Amino acid sequence: MIDNSERSENRNELSQETENLAQTLADTIQEPILVLGKKFEFLNANPGLLNLFEVADKSKLREKLDTENTFFQTLKRDLEKHGRLTAQEFNSKILNTDNRKVLVNASILENSGLVLISFKVEKVGKDDKLENFNEIFSQAPAMICILRGPEHIFDRANENYFQLVGHRDIIGKTVNEALPELEGQGFFEMLDGVYNSGEAFIGNEVPVKLDAGEGKMKNSFIDFVYQPILDSTGKVNGIFVHAVDITEKVTAKLKLEQSENELRYLIDTVPAIIWITGADGQNQYLNKNWYEFTGQNYESAKNFGWLDAVHPEDRKRVEKSFLRANNERDEFYESFRLRNKEGEYRWVLDSGSPKYNSEGEFEGMIGTVIDVHDEKLKEQLIREKEHRIRSIIEEANVATALYTGKEMKIEMANDAMINLWGKDESVIGTTLHQALPELEGQPFHDLLQEVFTTGKTYWGKEDPVDLVIDNKLQTGYFNFTYKALRDENGEIYGILNMAIDVSEMVRSKELIKDSEAKYRQMADLMPEKVLNINANGKVIYFNQGWMDYTGLNKEEFENKGLDSLIHPSEREEFEKNWRHSLQTGSDFEMEVRYLNKKGKYKWHLNRAEAIFDEHGNIQIWICTATEIQKIKAEEKRKEDFLKLVSHELKTPVTSIKGYVQLLLSLLKKKEGMPLSAIPFETSLERIDQQIVRLTRLISEMLDLSRIEKNKLVLQKETFSINELVNDTIQDINYTNTNYNIILEDDYQCDIHADKDRIGQVLINLVTNAIKYSPINQDILVSVKKAGKNKVAVSVQDSGIGIDKENLKKIFKRFYRIDFKNEDTYSGFGIGLYLANEIMKRHNGKIIVESEKGKGSLFTFIVDTAVKDQNT
C-alpha cells in the first residue's frame, strides 16, 4: 500500500488534466473500471468497481486494493511490454471469485500515461463449474452431494455419500423418494429451511438412521453443512451438502462419558473412602463415604479439616507423614484411628500416591482410606494367640513343634523337639522337608498333608521314625499327635506336633513279647493246663495241655468253652464263684471235674489269680488247672479208711464190752450159780483176741503216722531170717488152724535188720494170703537166695489174685481193691503200704506177681547180713 505522503507527492506531480480524465473515465464507463496512475498508484474507480469489491467508497477501495501486490506488478510488467492486455483473469484474494470468474482488460492511455483496467464479471456456468465434481470430491473424506430445486433432487453425490446411503440409485430423485427412512428425523425440514431462508445450516453430532442396504438400518452420527447454492441472480436454486461421519468419535466420546460416569459412581459406591488433595496438600475432594463415615460435612473436612477426625494420639504422626509424602511426592501409608460419626474410633488404613497431570506436573495426592478395624483386632488376637502358643511350646516338657502352611514351615520347635530330631536351632524357619530330608519315603509328610486338609488329628502310637542322629540313621519309636491349628475363620493355618520318645518302652515291650512267647512255649510244654483270661472273662490264651487233655483242637476248644467241659454237678457253683472273682478280683480256687478225651471226668484243682496294672485294674487272669484225680482218690481212700478204722475200732471194743458185761452180770447173779458155770475162758479168749486185733490196729496206725512223719526208727540187729520166718508161721498156724502153711527153707542166712518190722511184714503177707484165699487154703512160704547177698522171702497163695490194673496200687496208702458185687474182705489198706515202706528203709524191696483168680506171690528181698558174706 502506498502511504499518504507519497500519494500526495504523486498527486502533486499529476496534472489536473489527468485527474479530470480519470474522473471522466470513471464517470462514463459503466462496467467496473479502475484508473491507476503511471506508477500504478490508485487514482480513481467507478461505482461498478466499488460494487464489485463490495466497498462503500473509493477511499475504502484504495485501502483494500494493494496495487503493489503480485497481480498488479505482473500486470504492470506485461503492460509495459505489450501496451495493452485483454481477458487477463483476476486472481487476487481480495475479491471473492468462488463462483464467478473476473476478467480484466487493461491499457495505458498514450497521452496521459494513465492505466485503465476494466473488470468483467463472468458468471461461472453450472456445467462448467461442476463438471469435475466427482474428480474434486471423490477423494474428499467427506460425504458430499448437491441437491437441486425446492424438492431437493439429488443432482450429484460423491462416492462416500453413495456409501452412506448404501449405493442406492438416488440421482434424479427427491430426498423424500431416495431416502424415505429420513422421514421424521428432521432432515427434510432442515433442507426446506435452508432452501427457503438461503442461510446455511450447520449440524453437529446429529444422529441419523439410514438404510444401509439389505434392510439393515444403520445408526450414525454426522457433522454436516447445508450450504445454499445461489444462481446468478442470487436466488437459491440448490443445496450443497457436506457431511462427515463422526460416529466413532461420538461413540468413543459417549463411552468416555459413560466410563466417567461409572468411575464417578464407583468412587461414590466403593466401600472405601477416596480422597484427592491439591499440590499444596489441601483437601480437594472426598467421596461421600468419608462424610458418611466421619459425619463431617464439606466445610469441616476441607483443607486440613479432615485431620480433626483422626484420634488425637495419632493426629500429629498422620499429619507429619502426609505432609512429608506430599512434599517429597512420595507414597503415603499410615494406619491410624479415625472417629466415626458415632464417636467411636476405628482403625483405618490410609494410603495415597502422588498425582501428575499430562504435562508431568505434580497435582497433589490421591488415595483411599479403608476400615481395617476388625482385621486389626483379629491380627492382635492372632498375635496374642501366637504368643500364647509360642510360650506353651517353649515351656512344654514334651517335644513340641509348630508347622505352618502347606509346605510345613517349622515356625517353632522347642529344645525337646530339636533334640529328638537330633538337629540344632537352624532348622527353625526351614520347611520340614529341608530340616529332615530323611523323612522322605516315610509316611509323615503324607500324614501332615492329610491333617492339613481334613483337620482330623492324627495320633501316632509307637510309630517307628527313622531319623539321622549323630550322622547315623536310627530308628526310634514315638507317640505323637498332629493337630490342625485354625485361625479365627476356622481356616487351617498350621499343625501342632507333640511327640514323646517311647523307644525304650517299645524295645522292652518287644523283650516282653519275646519272653511271653517263651512263656507260652513253656506253658505248652507243661502237663499243667494253663489259661489266660482277660478282665472281661474272655479266654485269650490256653496251652497245649488243654488240647491234650480234651482231645479237642484249638478251634473246637474255643467254641465249646471251658464251662461245657465241667462236670454238671460242679458247673453251677463254678460259674458262681468265677463270676464273683471276676467282679472282685479275688483269687479263685475250686476243684472241679473236667471231661477228658476218653469221656471221663477227672478232678482238677483250678486256680486263678488276677494281675493288676498300676491303677489297680485287672489286666489278666492267670489260671491253672491241675489234675488231682490221684490225690482225690487217695483222699477218698483216707476217708474210707477213717470210716473203716472207726468201724474196726468199734467192733472189738463193742465185742470186749459185751463180754465184760456178760461176765459182770453173771458174777452178780452168782448166788445159786457155781463159778465154773461162768464161761470165763472163752469170754476172756475172745476178749484177748479182740485186744490183739485192737493192738495191731493201733500199732499199724502208729506206724503209719510215724512213717508219715518220717519218724519210723529201725532197731537193727543181726538175726536168722529162717528162724524169724519159722517162728512167725508157727504163731499164725496156731490161730489159723484151717490153713496149711508150708515152709520151704532153701537158704539159711542172717540178716541185719529190725526184727520186729521184718516180722511185721511177713505177718502181713501171710495174713493177707489167708484173708484173700477163702477157698484154697494152701500157702507156701519160702526163703531163697536172691542173687548176691540177698535173700528173698515169698508168700504164695492160690486165692483170689489181683488184676493187673491194681497190682501197683496195692502198695499205696489206704488202697484197697474195690470188689464190686463180691465179698468184701476186712482191712484198712495200710498193711502193704507199711510193708513196702519198711522194706524201703531196709534197702530192700517188695514185689508181687499175681493173676486174678489164680492166687498171688508176694516176695520181699533184703540184704543178707555181712557175716553171711563169708559163708
User: Angle between the 755-771 and 721-735 helix axes, to the nearest 10 degrees?
Assistant: 40
Tell me the closest approach of the beta carbon of residue 794 to ligand ADP, in angstroms: 11
Pick 127 or 818: Cβ nearer ligand ADP:
818
Q: Please state the closest distance from residue 802 (CB atom) to ligand ADP, in A.
A: 5
**Nearest distance, CB of residue 769 and ligand ADP, angstroms:** 5
- Find out whether 365 and 279 touch, Cβ atoms under 8 Å: no
d(CA 714, CA 560): 56
Question: Based on CB atoms, which residue is closest to ligand ADP, 101 or 809?
Answer: 809
How far is Cα 550 from Cα 425, in angstroms, rounded to an integer? Answer: 65
Q: Which of 349, 592, 817, 865 binds ligand ADP (CB under 6 A)?
A: 817
Nearer to ligand ADP, 228 or 801 (CB): 801
Output 70 or 776, the one with its CB closest to ligand ADP.
776
Contacting residue, 239, 810, 862, 865, with ligand ADP by CB under 6 A? 810
Handedness of CA 346, 351, 357, 363 (dihedral sign): positive
Q: Are 721 and 844 in contact (CB under 8 A)?
A: no
Q: Is residue 800 a contact point for ligand ADP (CB under 6 A)?
A: yes
Plot region of 205 (φ>0 → left; ψ -120 to 50 → alpha; else → beta): left
Task: Pick the stretch among 84-92, 583-591, 689-697, 831-839 that binds ligand ADP (CB under 6 A).
Answer: 831-839
Cβ neighbors of 831 (< 8 A, separation 6 or more) are 700, 764, 767, 768
> How many CB atoms are closer than 10 A to CB 738?
6
Nearest residue to the partner ligand ADP, using Cβ: 827
Contact partners, residue 585, CB within 8 Å, separation at least 6: 610, 612, 618
**Which residue in 53, 482, 828, 860 binds ligand ADP (CB under 6 A)?**
828
Q: Which of these segments, 152-160, 182-190, 431-439, 796-804, binds ligand ADP (CB under 6 A)? A: 796-804
By CB under 6 A, tell whether 831 contacts ligand ADP. Answer: yes
Which is nearer to ligand ADP, 46 or 856 (by Cβ)? 856
Q: Which of 137, 829, 846, 859 binds ligand ADP (CB under 6 A)?
A: 829
Q: State how far the Cα of 570 lies from the Cα of 591, in Å rounded to an integer.
A: 8
The three three-digit cell numbers of residue 449, written as one number: 498333608
| Alpha-helical runs (H) found in 83-149 | 126-130, 133-138
Closest to ligand ADP by CB, 769 or 791? 769
Distance of alpha carbon 652 from alpha carbon 693, whole angstroms = 7
Bridge partner list, 601: 595
Can you tell me which of 314, 334, 797, 863 binds ligand ADP, judged by CB under 6 A? 797
For residue 864, the 8-state DSSP code is P
Q: Between 162 and 825, whose beta carbon lies closer to ligand ADP?
A: 825
Q: Which residues contact residue 777 at a Cβ distance below 8 angstroms, ignoring those fewer than 6 apart?
A: 738, 739, 740, 770
Q: Rounded to the nearest whole angstrom, what is the least distance from the CB of residue 819 to ligand ADP in the complex?
A: 8
- Least Å distance, CB 785 to ligand ADP, is 23
The mark string for 850-869 relative to ligand ADP (x by CB under 6 A, - otherwise) is: ------x-------------
Burial 667-692 (b: 16+ CB within 10 A, else e): eeeeeeeeeeebeeeebeebbeebee
Q: How far is the CB of 799 from ligand ADP (least distance, A)?
A: 5
Residue closer to ligand ADP (CB basis): 577 or 859: 859
802 near ligand ADP, rule: CB under 6 A: yes
x/- letters, 751..780, toward ligand ADP (CB under 6 A)? -------------x---xx--x--------
Identity of the residue, 545 or 801, whose beta carbon is nearer to ligand ADP in the bound complex: 801
- Of the pair 67, 768, the CB lying nearest ligand ADP is at 768
**Residue 441: helix, strand or coil by DSSP?**
coil
Residues 359 and 279 sit within 8 Å (Cβ to Cβ): no
Residue 189 grid coordinates = 425440514
Q: What is the Cα–Cα distance from 728 to 720, expressed in whole angstroms?
A: 12
Residues lying near ligand ADP in the complex (CB under 6 A): 764, 768-769, 772, 797, 799-802, 810, 816-817, 827-833, 856
